[in-house]
Structure 1
């Protein structure tokens, strides 16, 4: 009598009855994708090792099992590995995106550098140092865009602005990095701005305004103030 074989859906391209080596290769290919490799914490690596060892033992037991049931067990085991991978990697990737920082400008903001400076000075006059520092950093960023040191890129973060400005104004790398960090700290409420922070940001703004960028592209298109 012919045995009843369970009709179980399998992944496209996966052998219906893969041997141990094929199964291991399929899982290693899945786990080698960039989304998993980017995580790279030692804990994650140890978990992978344990999972693969467990799966290897499971595959060894499948050898003597009916082909249809073996395929089911293989699919379930692989699915468990993928689910665990996603659960472990996703929080890390979300944290990485959060650490990249907020966008410098709100989506609807198209103010000029001078307009942001005016808002910064107005906030400083009212002792609103968080707002003052935030608007001064926006003024610096917008000024760089107006002078073609930066391209107009919506959604750019403070860290990304700092990376580009440091390449164009190497003499002010320390202050640029500091201000980008303070912008993020103020935004997340980690540490409020102080009057001395604002004074330092104003000095940096003035220094950058009178300095010529080192970028060849920006230098070629430099527009000197009238």
Structure 2
């Protein structure tokens, strides 16, 4: 499984992904699920992937290949006029890849090659934008009403994001919030695992503002995990106790 989160704040965009892939408890591997490309001073684009590994790697490989084409040939990733056009092209590529793999594998391929993606970035002269692409190739865009997207194993980390998000929060607090969300997911689901990849994209920077790989030995993540557990227990015990009232016996029915 996978867990990836993309979040917009006033300062820009924060992205985090895990790296675990598994085909059973005895076949666990580490694969990067976050990728980015940049044209200095002009654009910064990042992609996170979830779903069938063969599908996502095929899409990323094709995107990488297109960035290495001769200069006289157009590539939407590096030359598209808007983020909308970039995401449209990635969506088409994802849908085509899934469709091709399913056709090659026939009935065995139905439902096996599904994948989804989060695309984030900024092109000069425009605002930073965040999108989520579905397996069908269509997509939706984040807004201040829906300021973050999750793909993969989303349910365990979502309540943390909903309660803690503030569009005015600093990058540092946004990273802290994502760390707590990922820690909650890691504790609840073995199919999501370290290392984690973190990427911060500052508005109008057109380059990574901060990148970091969070390993099992990361002191900050270890502190977050330990302190968050302690804080939850402390908050729980600070809540008022439930009372059964003066009568604790059960009522008996007549008859």
Q: Would you say same fold, with TM above 0.5?
A: no
After TM superposition, the score normalised by the length of structure 1 is 0.23
Structure of higher CA gyration radius: 1
Structure having the higher strand fraction is 2
Higher relative contact order (CA 8 A, sep 6+): 2
After TM superposition, the score normalised by the length of structure 2 is 0.21
